[in-house]
A = this chain, B = another copy of it.
Amino acid sequence: MVTLADVARHAGVSASTVSYVLSGKRSISTATRERIQHSIDALGYRPHAGARALAGGRTSILALMMPLRTGLYLPVMMEIAMAVTTTARAHGHDVLLLTGEEGPEAVRRVEGSALADGMIVMDVELDDPRLPLLREAERPAVLVGLPADTTGLDCVDLDFAAAGARCVEHLASLGHRRLAVLGEPPAVYARGTGYAERTLAGIRAAAAAHGLDLLHRPVDGTYGAVAAAVTRIFEERPGTTGLVVQNEAAVEPLLAVLRHQGRAVPEDVSVVALCPDQVAAHASVPLTAVAVPARDLGRIAVERLVARLRGEDARGPELLAPHLTVRAGSGPAPTAPGDARGRD
């Protein structure tokens, strides 16, 4: 193994000079810097991560706590992880992958064993058991998500309330008067992750403001569950012409069910999705959607964390403004209400 001492000897300088060339923490004459750099290249030197961590107190590693709930299949999570990893690399950091299942213990491990310089926590619950530890921790953390109490924490998330409202406003502007929401699976609401409720609140507020009729149904992302929910919706509210879906897995089943029931999108029913843009854009009918900006969330989380590592203070929660992209899935409310026999 090539050590810093080897490089120093090869370049005819002291170890500290080599170290300072690497860190840039003090000025070095161009001549020696180049000589040292040459030795580094010639010997193929790489600093030993463990030695660095021990001596310098920095690991150049960011921990990422990711929910690995089996069965929950989540392109969003994956995309965030991707963005975190590439952004971290761009800032000279590596990423240590932790499962959310380990809970608070993972936080203790990272802290106690100095495994990482800071952590990014995904899938934060409103009253997450990891929060107290994170608040006390030596190392900074950035949450992707919005807990109930954000005191002393850095958080990034989509403004789901505004996103929900945006969906409703789009449908309202197209003349739809009767809407239904296909929400996340019941388990998500039960778990208290917050974003589902925030979305719903935004949707309800906007619907109320526009005087719209609204029905909300949590659904599992299976064809059967979606079919049942859709059928009931049209039974209970025959005049429904606008649907909002907040459930990646339900998007395609929903379109299949509508097709099967002979409801044309967007002629009979307009559909607006709240999901990653990719999912909406590549659906069997490209859907108008408010994007969940997974990549941005991951990137911003890392940028904030890196800023904290540079000594900046926590900036509190940051909610990203929603962006709606109009696609083929939404259009004007039908004027001759084909399905609206039961209306009123």
Contacts and interface: CB of A to CB of B under 8 A. Distances in A.
Contacts of A75: 73-75
A168 B289 CA distance: 40
The quantity of this chain's copies bound in the complex is 2
A114 interface: yes
A70 B284 CA distance: 20
Nearest to A79: B70
Interface string A143-183: 00000000000000000000000000000000000000000
Contacts of A94: 96-98, 115
Contacts of A64: 97
A56 to B, nearest CB: 9
Contacts of A73: 75, 78, 278
Give the interface size class of chain A: 35 or more
Interface in A28-70: 44-54, 59, 61, 64, 68, 70
B89 A49 contact: no
A79 B191 CA distance: 22
Nearest to A53: B50
A166 to B, nearest CB: 24
B68 A59 contact: no
Interface centre among A51, A75, A282 (most CB of B within 10 A): A282
Interface string A109-137: 10011110000000000000000000000
A95 interface: yes
A102 interface: yes
A86 B113 contact: no
Ranked nearest first, the 7 interchain pairs of A and B with the lowest CB-CB distance are A50-B53, A46-B112, A223-B284, A50-B54, A68-B82, A97-B97, A49-B113
